[in-house]
Structure 1
Amino acid sequence: MKKRLFSLALTILSVAVAMAQNVSTRTNDFEVDFSDPKKLASTTIPVINWITPVQETNYAQENKFKIRVEIDSDKPIKSIIINVKESEQSASRGSSSIQPTDEEKLHTVVERSITLMDGDNLLEIIAENIDGQKTVSYRKVTIGSAALADATKLDRTDYALIFATDEYDHWGDLVNPVFDSRTIAAELKKTYGFQVDVVENGTQADVLKKIREYAEKKYKPLDQLLIFFAGHGNYDQTFGEGFVVTRESLINDEAKTTYLSHNRLRSIINNIPCEHIFLAMDVCFGGTFDAALASSRGIGDEVYKEQNTAEFITRKLTYKTRRFLTSGGKTYVSDGIAGKHSPFAKNLIEALRSRGGRDGVLTLPEIYSYVEKLKIQPRFGEFGDNAPGSDFVFVAK
């Protein structure tokens, strides 16, 4: 029997010559059997596009869970089946069959509110066209607190991307950015289990290339990304904009083309496909990262004493996070004494070493409590697509 293996490109509507073959989005592969010429038929594979939820693994407190799926096919869609299972191999807990109307046979939008059981649920969508060609796609949804009893079992990864510059081609050198950043990186790794990437004395191209690398990663719903900048910063009164000064930035650059603008940085970071991003900046004029800093509000402590750690984490990470904390506003900030950390970095490191107190979870309000009394007051705010109620957590190991 002759068989051939094809890989599906996610951005291309693949064409196959097959009959009654299945495609799974988990493997991105499908197998075509050419042994029986009578079964051959020219057909296309239906494409399933999840609008909600986008991520493959999801967490929710409520049993009612909404889905929205768009299905496209060059050949008319015969049927769409929604199954709810505990796993791929288990029997269906419930099933729903949809017969597209004539107007929907090439493009069907499926919207459903599905009642799920506490624990793990696997949503399976099967789309079949008139040639019997099937596509199968899955989403995993964990419901309720029972399945979240152990925080160490949560499907999540914390990343840290750190940029530190203390050697400049045209600006005066600094004494602490690399030292500060290495200390913070070590604390994130040792205490909180972050996967850390440090870029030292990088050019603007180095910075953007590394951010692009993180923008192309695959993230899970509870994954977090911390981005930290330490070094020179600049503010242009005429442009009304702040800038990160990179290694090769010129001092007398009126066009600011050798600088990395906050506007560009804000847009790029906001578009990284990670649900939870926290940006910290220990640079002069870092507060100008917020385009509307004057209207930003303060923050307060939050205490949850009745939740286990896993419930606390998932509740904190329910909403999309785009938060920032800077060492100052529209001002110069101190680099500190060589080998003793900058004032902002010193207090940030103290916050990280606190391990979040008894519960072992350090939140943004708790971090802010460590830095808010500095002589030059740090700025805390939100940007981009931040959702009300969002947070970023550091979970001690």
Structure 2
Amino acid sequence: MKNLSLTPFFILLCLSFVKAQEVDISGKWTGNSYFLGTQIFTEYELHQEGNSVIGFGTTKNGSDSSKFRLVGEIKGQKIFLKGVEYVYKVGKGCLSKAEFTYSNSGSMATINGRWKGTMELTTCPPGVAGRVDLFHKKELMVAEPVAQSGTSPQMLQSIHKDDFEGTELVNALADRKYYALIIAVEDYNSPDIQDLDNPAHDAVSLSKTLNEHYTFEKENTLLLHNPNRSEIITAFDELASKVKERDNLLIFYAGHGIWDERLQQGFWLPSDATLDSKAQWLSNSTIRDYVGGIDSKHTLLITDACFSGSIFKERAVFNNSKAILEMYKLPSRRAMTSGALKTVPDKSVFIQYLNKNLARNTHPLLSAEQLFQSFKVAVINNSPNGQVPQYGPIGQVGDEGGDFIFLKRGSR
């Protein structure tokens, strides 16, 4: 009789344990939070490891919006989350702590609870609070495309379902603009400066690759063919007023470059440049000023010109690999050049391999450093004069150790 009386209790314990283990909050949660009668669209992207939780939250209310990093833990059916830092904030808002109760009816999972401020300086003030009601948005299962008869298309590699950071970054980048300024100078007004054969072809080829394979829209891509100095400066000024701090900018220059030993300064030569006067030359210091003054998240400068390596504060190749998400968090101002302080050939193997590796990349996310490392050796081995391409930070213009990230079309 004594054993029989213990049996239901034992079964109850087992069922409670199983139920607790069923709490799985990884994924996207969508709903609303409330403050003083105002309904605020709220979305969480969460990743659970055991009882620990990390993720990001997004809120939108009219012109006010924010995105913030979340950390927390699970205790039984209770979920405790805290906003720890902003990714961005536009308008009003404050970080808070929240306590949720998890429920799963089978067809839908929900987390319901309250957010509140605390005595901590980093959160909303004490007494500020409201409800949060979120439901689980099930992920869509996407089938692999079936090749048409007689074709074998190149497939885009997908982000693994457990790669939370990769998925989060793809989603974040898809909502940001990519701008490109592509400059090609091959026909010079001065008879003293030799015309070039390939910059325009190289520029058009790169522009096409960025538009077709990556998220550079045509309306945000400006191609300048044989511009003079004034036209280049005007393009920089327009970018400075257009590009926002959440956007990314790529600048490409193909044309003549020259090094002034006395001034210890490198220059681009626009189409109206002359050799007997520097009035129409474009100095590296001017280029650096614009790169530093354009308020982008990341700016990547790619130059295919003689002495283009002089743009660097230091000429050593940057070689510090980090996770792509970590590289994107920090602002960057970086340059990729066809060589250091030497002449480079008109028919550029640098742009040939750069464009080739951009086009054949199948990864959703590609850092500029990964791109550079993928073709650096090929340029060295196939250059007729042993040119060594360079990659690294541009000095004194706000680089904080991040990197430019290319987002492949069709990644989301």
Indicate whether the TM-score tops 0.5.
Answer: yes
1:137 equivalent in structure 2: none
TM-score, normalising length from structure 1? 0.60
Asked if 1:212 corresponds to 2:218, the answer is: no
Alignment match of 1:351 (pick from 345, 350, 357): 357
Determine if contact 1:276/1:320 at 8 Å carries over to the other structure. Answer: yes
TM-score, normalising length from structure 2? 0.58
1:332 equivalent in structure 2: 343
1:323 equivalent in structure 2: 334
Q: In structure 1, the residue corresponding to 2:242 is in which secondary structure?
A: coil
Determine if contact 1:219/1:273 at 8 Å carries over to the other structure. Answer: yes
Determine if contact 2:318/2:393 at 8 Å carries over to the other structure. Answer: no
Asked if 1:370 corresponds to 2:377, the answer is: no
State the alpha-carbon separation in 2 of the partners of residues 360 and 59 from structure 1: 23
Alignment match of 2:251 (pick from 199, 203, 227): 227
Identity %: 23
Asked if 1:269 corresponds to 2:286, the answer is: no
State the alpha-carbon separation in 1 of the partners of residues 202 and 328 from structure 2: 28
State the alpha-carbon separation in 1 of the partners of residues 274 and 236 from structure 2: 22
1:189 equivalent in structure 2: 211
Determine if contact 1:290/1:382 at 8 Å carries over to the other structure. Answer: yes
Q: Kindly provide the amino acid, as one letter, of the partner of residue 227 in structure 2.
A: G
Taking structure 1 as reference, are residues 184 and 301 closer, same or farther at Cα in structure 2, changes over 3 Å only?
A: same
**Matched residue pairs, number?**
271
Taking structure 1 as reference, are residues 233 and 119 closer, same or farther at Cα in structure 2, changes over 3 Å only?
A: farther
State the alpha-carbon separation in 2 of the partners of residues 119 and 214 from structure 1: 41
- Offset, 1:93: 3.6
State the alpha-carbon separation in 2 of the partners of residues 292 and 149 from structure 1: 34
Q: Kindly provide the amino acid, as one letter, of the partner of residue 293 in structure 2.
A: N
Q: In structure 2, the residue corresponding to 1:187 is in which secondary structure?
A: helix
Taking structure 1 as reference, are residues 149 and 266 closer, same or farther at Cα in structure 2, changes over 3 Å only?
A: closer
Pairwise mapping of residues 164-183 of structure 1 onto structure 2 (< 5 A)?
Answer: 164-170=184-190, 171-183=193-205
State the alpha-carbon separation in 1 of the partners of residues 338 and 165 from structure 2: 40
Asked if 1:240 corresponds to 2:282, the answer is: no
- Offset, 1:371: 3.4
Moved over 4 A (4+): 55-59, 66-69, 80-86, 115-120, 144-150
- Offset, 1:145: 5.1
Q: In structure 1, the residue corresponding to 2:270 is in which secondary structure?
A: coil
State the alpha-carbon separation in 2 of the partners of residues 67 and 149 from structure 1: 12
Larger radius of gyration: 2
Taking structure 1 as reference, are residues 61 and 377 closer, same or farther at Cα in structure 2, changes over 3 Å only?
A: farther
1:156 equivalent in structure 2: 176
- Offset, 1:330: 0.7
Alignment match of 1:385 (pick from 370, 375, 398): 398
Q: Kindly provide the amino acid, as one letter, of the partner of residue 324 in structure 1.
A: A
Alignment match of 1:299 (pick from 308, 319, 326): 319
Taking structure 1 as reference, are residues 216 and 236 closer, same or farther at Cα in structure 2, changes over 3 Å only?
A: same
Q: Kindly provide the amino acid, as one letter, of the partner of residue 291 in structure 1.
A: K
The Cα offsets for residues 244-271 of structure 1, whole Å up to 9 and x where unpaired, read as 0001001122xx2210000111011111
2:76 equivalent in structure 1: none
- Offset, 1:161: 0.9
Q: Kindly provide the amino acid, as one letter, of the partner of residue 217 in structure 1.
A: K
Mind listing any 5+ residue stretches in structure 2 that lack a counterpart? Answer: 1-63, 72-82, 99-112, 135-162, 381-385
State the alpha-carbon separation in 2 of the partners of residues 197 and 322 from structure 1: 20
Pairwise mapping of residues 34-53 of structure 1 onto structure 2 (< 5 A)?
Answer: none
Q: In structure 2, the residue corresponding to 1:166 is in which secondary structure?
A: coil
State the alpha-carbon separation in 1 of the partners of residues 332 and 258 from structure 2: 26
State the alpha-carbon separation in 2 of the partners of residues 213 and 272 from structure 1: 10
Q: Kindly provide the amino acid, as one letter, of the partner of residue 345 in structure 2.
A: S
State the alpha-carbon separation in 2 of the partners of residues 149 and 291 from structure 1: 33
2:406 equivalent in structure 1: 394
State the alpha-carbon separation in 2 of the partners of residues 60 and 278 from structure 1: 26
- Offset, 1:197: 1.2
User: Structure 1 residues 235-244 or 188-197, which shifts more?
Assistant: 188-197
Q: Kindly provide the amino acid, as one letter, of the partner of residue 335 in structure 1.
A: D
State the alpha-carbon separation in 1 of the partners of residues 132 and 327 from structure 2: 20
Q: Kindly provide the amino acid, as one letter, of the partner of residue 360 in structure 2.
A: S
Q: Kindly provide the amino acid, as one letter, of the partner of residue 329 in structure 2.
A: T
Pairwise mapping of residues 128-143 of structure 1 onto structure 2 (< 5 A)?
Answer: none
State the alpha-carbon separation in 2 of the partners of residues 332 and 348 from structure 1: 18
Taking structure 1 as reference, are residues 335 and 58 closer, same or farther at Cα in structure 2, changes over 3 Å only?
A: farther
Determine if contact 1:118/1:146 at 8 Å carries over to the other structure. Answer: no
State the alpha-carbon separation in 2 of the partners of residues 212 and 371 from structure 1: 32
The Cα offsets for residues 161-204 of structure 1, whole Å up to 9 and x where unpaired, read as 11111111112110010100000000000000203211111011
1:199 equivalent in structure 2: 224
Q: In structure 2, the residue corresponding to 1:162 is in which secondary structure?
A: strand
Determine if contact 1:85/1:93 at 8 Å carries over to the other structure. Answer: yes
Mind listing any 5+ residue stretches in structure 1 that lack a counterpart? Answer: 1-54, 70-79, 98-110, 121-143, 305-311, 337-341
The Cα offsets for residues 123-172 of structure 1, whole Å up to 9 and x where unpaired, read as xxxxxxxxxxxxxxxxxxxxx95995583564212111111111111121
Determine if contact 1:156/1:220 at 8 Å carries over to the other structure. Answer: no
Computed over aligned residues only, the root mean square deviation of the Cα atoms, in angstroms, reads: 3.7
State the alpha-carbon separation in 2 of the partners of residues 119 and 233 from structure 1: 60
